[in-house]
Amino acid sequence: MLLSKQVAIELNLTHCKLKQYLASMLKKRGVPLTPEQFILIDLLWNQGPMSQQQLADQMQKDKNSVTKLVDAIEAKGFVVRQQNSHDRRSNTIVLTEMAEKLKSGAKQSGIDILDMMLEGIEEKELRAFLHTLNKIDQNMSNLL
């Protein structure tokens, strides 16, 4: 098999397994969010209220996908949409008190889950892996 094809297959399989692993571990730890919902809320925890377009840009997702994510976590009571006073077509996504109460436990769970996933891998290896992923990302960006 071509090495390039093998890399693509392994990246895809690892991505799928990562999502399954994270979903399972978040559920086991009582965090009522999917991995993508967790990423969205974590962005809001770290950066404060954002528009749906800003979230889409940060997550590298289309606006419709982010709308569905926001709908789901809004239904769970973790965010509310506030109409932008300067542009009535735009909403700002704001965390609720419920999301703020979830923050410390969920963030620590996220860190613990990732630490378990990366157990036994040296920092030097992780840095080299990140460097390689960044090169792949840059190559794809240059082709778009």
Q: Residue 88 pLDDT > 80, yes or no?
A: no
Is 70 within a domain? yes
Q: What is the pLDDT of residue 143?
A: 87
Q: What is the pLDDT of residue 18?
A: 94
Is 17 within a domain? no
Is 63 within a domain? yes
Q: What is the pLDDT of residue 90?
A: 82
Q: Residue 91 pLDDT > 90, yes or no?
A: no
The pTM score is 0.86
Strands, sheet with 50-51, edge to edge from the N-terminal-most edge strand: 50-51, 91-95, 79-83
Residue 37 DSSP one-character state: H
Counted domains in the chain: 1
Q: How confident is the model at residue 27 (pLDDT cuts 50, 70, 90)?
A: very high
Is 49 within a domain? yes
Name the residue among 63, 18, 34, 43 with its Cα closest to residue 103. 43
Spatial separation of the C-alpha atoms in residues 63 and 55, rounded to whole Å: 8
Is 25 within a domain? no
Is 50 within a domain? yes
State the average pLDDT over residues 86-115. Answer: 91
Indicate the SS3 state at residue 119: coil
CB 42 within 8 A of CB 110: yes
Q: What pLDDT, in 10s, does the model give residues 62-78?
A: 999 999 999 999 999 99
Spatial separation of the C-alpha atoms in residues 18 and 11, rounded to whole Å: 10
Task: Find the CATH number of the domain harbouring 44.
Answer: 1.10.10.10
- The residue segments making up the domain with residue 85 are 32-109
State the average pLDDT over residues 126-140. Answer: 94
* Kind plus residue range of the DSSP H or E element containing 80: strand 79-83
Is 65 within a domain? yes
Is 104 within a domain? yes
